[in-house]
Every structure is written in structure tokens, then in C-alpha cells.
């Protein structure tokens, strides 16, 4: 395990987090972070800590009873964290949090940006409140929730841009059907994004509720009161973001319906133009059909001005329906 890039061991020194170079020094650690481990690395960590690490299949289990449980004095909590929030295709991944004896062990199969930001802050910015695994656990959850808040804010700006494009754009080219099809794709991606965030926030709320229930049995002291206050604060933030994601999902549904309605209106406009054209050309076609018949006695065929009169009648019969439709504002 020594020198492995997959295992990060941290120790708390005075007022900040310090990464240990040697995993064998884990006895003084407050946080052990295992990233995309192989079965051999999982087995080695189990030997070092005496904790049975959940497998990847266990982490993917959707049953709450399999995600939150206590075993041999250790509290196991499995969260669903969304990564790659800046990309068009965010990904949901499981993260296991294990609390035992004041130490936190995390197992994850990805690199959430919230984790990297938390580690950077904890290693470089003085902080007296991260002296044990419990505090680091809450710091990580808070970092994930803060990351979601930033992502939802950015997605809200994107939805406002789409809304302006749909309802306020004056450029006809921007409202063509092929452009609206691209808008539908963007709206659909926003809907998928919000569904992932909403599911993750719901999972985090259950995780925090379980953690609060387990830690509630501890003796009440000043540190415990502060920890419970921190849990309630993060719970409120997660609940508020969950409500925000629900309202944004409703907006996504509204924008999708509006875009589909605009596409239908555009298609109806095209069909209406063809319908009006067919009606306007029907009288000229009738006149041309009459004088195209091969009857022997048709006096108009011998008139000197028969041809220009027939052409004029066809033009007039086409113009009158057109002018009528314009007056009725059907065009």
C-alpha cells in the first residue's frame, strides 16, 4: 500500500489537514480516502483498519437498509454523488462513508470536484472545526451540497437563456424548427441533470437523517451540540436545494411544452400556406380546364381577345381569394 496513488491518508495537525506519505502511519489518521480501488487494495485496507469495506455492488444497492447500517461499532453510509457537473453528461456515482472511533474512511469510484475543493481548503486554510473524522464527514457533505447549489444556479441561468430565446427572440431564423430541435435537446439535458441532482439530494437527506439518529444517542456536550447544529444546517440547505430543483423541473416541463407548441405552430403555418395556395389556384385551374376541353362549338375560342381575357380571368380569380385571405389575416 505504500506509495499507492489510490489511497490518501490524512492527519489533523494543529489547524489544518495534512496528507501522510506512508499509509502505515494510519493509526494517527483522521481520514482515509480510497479512490477506485482494486480488490487487493480493498483487502489491504480492511487489514489496516479492521473494517469490512462494502463492495461496488453493495454500494450500488438502492435499498435504504443496505445503504445505511451499523456494524462492529462502525457507521456505514452510502451516498449518491453527481460528478462532471460542468459537462453535458453528468454522472452519478456511489460514495461510502464509514465512521469508526473518530476516524472517517471513504471509498469512491470517481473524482468529485467537491472532494478536491474540500481537501484544498482543509490543507491550506486554517480551520479549528475539522479535528476528527465526524467533522470531516460533515465538511465533505457540506462541500457536495455547496457544489450542487453552484450547479443549480448555473443551470437556472441556462434555463433563463432558453426562455428568452423561446419567448422574446425577434430573429425569425432563431425560431426555425431545426433550431428549436436543438433547444429541445438542451431542455432534455437540463431535465436529466435536475433529475440526478434531485435524486442525490434526496439520498443525502436520508443519509443526514440516519447520521443524526445514530449520533443522537451520544452524550450531550458543546461539541455534540455544534455537530447537531451543523447537521440541521446542511439538512435545511439540502431540502431547500431539493425544492429548488423541483421548481426548476417544472420550468423545464413548461419550456419543453412551449417549444413543442412553437414547432407545431410553425408546421401548421406551412400547412396553412399550402392550403391557401391550393384554394387560390383552384379557380384559375377551373378556367383553364374549361377552355382546354375539345368541344367544337366554343365561341370564345374565335374571339380576337379570347386568350388575354382568359388569362386575365385566371389571374383575377387567383388574386381575389388571396386578397380575401389577407383581409381576414389568415396569411
For the chain, how many residues are written?
Answer: 331
Cross-strand partners of 105: 32, 98
Per-residue pLDDT reduced to its tens digit, 205-218: 999 999 988 876 55
The residue whose grid cell reads 483498519 is: 49
pLDDT at 170 over 60: no
Pairwise CA distance, residues 331 & 329, whole Å: 5
Q: Which of 13, 44, 47 is nearest to 31 (CA)?
A: 13
CB-based contact 280:322 (threshold 8 Å): yes
- Among 147-156, 161-170, 258-267, top mean pLDDT goes to 147-156
Please tell me the predicted confidence (pLDDT) of residue 206. 92
Pairwise CA distance, residues 151 & 142, whole Å: 14
Please tell me the predicted confidence (pLDDT) of residue 174. 53
CB-based contact 127:55 (threshold 8 Å): no
> Among 80-89, 174-183, 300-309, which is the least confidently predicted range?
174-183
pLDDT at 204 over 90: yes
The residue whose grid cell reads 474540500 is: 118
Please tell me the predicted confidence (pLDDT) of residue 10. 87
Determine the average pLDDT of the residues in 186-207. Answer: 93
Pairwise CA distance, residues 326 & 280, whole Å: 12
What does DSSP say about strands 74-83 and 68-71: parallel, antiparallel, or unpaired?
antiparallel
Determine the average pLDDT of the residues in 1-5. Answer: 41
Output phi, psi for 174, to 5 deg: -70, -20
Per-residue pLDDT reduced to its tens digit, 89-136: 899 999 999 998 888 999 998 888 999 999 998 888 877 677 788 889
CB-based contact 8:117 (threshold 8 Å): no
pLDDT at 4 over 60: no
Q: Which three three-digit cell numbers place residue 163?
A: 426562455
pLDDT at 5 over 70: no
Per-residue pLDDT reduced to its tens digit, 128-139: 677 788 889 999
215-239 core/surface letters (b: 16 or more CB in 10 A; e: else): eeeeeeeeeeeebeebbeebbebbe
CB-based contact 164:132 (threshold 8 Å): no
Pairwise CA distance, residues 107 & 98, whole Å: 9
Amino acid at each position: 500500500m505504500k506509495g499507492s496513488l489510490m489511497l490518501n491518508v490524512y492527519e489533523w495537525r494543529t489547524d489544518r489537514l495534512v496528507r501522510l506519505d506512508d499509509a502505515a502511519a494510519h493509526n494517527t489518521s483522521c481520514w482515509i480516502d480510497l479512490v477506485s480501488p482494486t480488490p487487493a487494495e480493498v483487502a489491504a485496507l480492511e487489514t489496516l483498519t479492521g473494517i469490512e469495506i462494502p463492495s461496488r455492488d453493495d454500494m450500488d444497492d438502492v435499498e435504504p437498509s443496505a445503504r445505511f447500517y451499523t456494524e462492529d461499532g462502525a457507521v456505514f453510509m452510502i451516498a449518491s454523488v453527481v460528478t462532471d457537473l460542468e459537462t453535458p453528461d453528468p454522472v452519478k456515482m456511489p460514495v461510502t462513508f464509514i465512521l469508526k472511533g473518530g476516524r472517517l474512511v471513504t471509498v469512491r469510484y470517481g473524482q468529485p470536484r467537491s472532494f478536491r475543493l474540500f481537501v484544498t481548503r482543509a490543507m491550506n486554510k486554517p480551520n479549528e472545526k475539522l479535528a476528527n473524522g465526524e467533522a470531516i464527514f460533515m465538511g465533505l457533505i457540506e462541500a457536495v451540497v455547496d457544489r450542487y447549489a453552484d450547479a443549480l444556479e448555473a443551470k437556472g441561468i441556462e434555463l433563463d437563456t432558453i426562455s428568452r430565446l423561446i419567448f422574446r427572440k425577434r430573429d425569425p431564423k432563431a425560431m426555425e424548427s431545426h433550431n428549436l430541435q436543438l433547444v429541445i435537446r438542451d431542455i432534455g439535458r437540463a431535465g436529466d441533470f435536475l433529475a440526478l441532482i434531485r435524486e442525490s439530494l434526496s439520498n443525502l437527506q436520508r443519509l443526514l437523517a440516519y447520521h443524526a439518529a445514530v449520533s443522537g444517542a451520544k452524550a450531550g456536550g458543546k461539541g455534540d451540540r455544534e455537530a447537531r447544529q451543523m447537521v440541521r444546517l446542511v439538512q435545511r440547505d439540502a431540502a431547500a436545494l431539493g425544492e429548488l430543483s423541483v421548481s426548476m423541473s417544472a420550468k423545464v416541463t413548461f419550456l419543453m411544452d412551449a417549444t413543442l407548441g412553437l414547432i407545431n405552430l410553425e408546421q401548421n403555418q406551412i400547412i396553412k400556406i399550402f392550403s391557401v395556395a391550393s384554394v387560390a389556384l383552384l379557380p384559375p385551374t377551373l378556367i383553364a380546364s374549361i377552355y382546354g376541353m375539345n368541344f367544337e362549338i366554343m365561341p370564345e375560342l374565335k374571339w380576337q381577345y379570347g386568350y388575354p381575357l382568359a388569362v386575365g380571368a385566371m389571374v383575377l380569380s387567383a388574386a381575389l381569394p388571396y386578397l380575401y385571405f389577407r383581409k381576414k389575416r389568415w396569411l
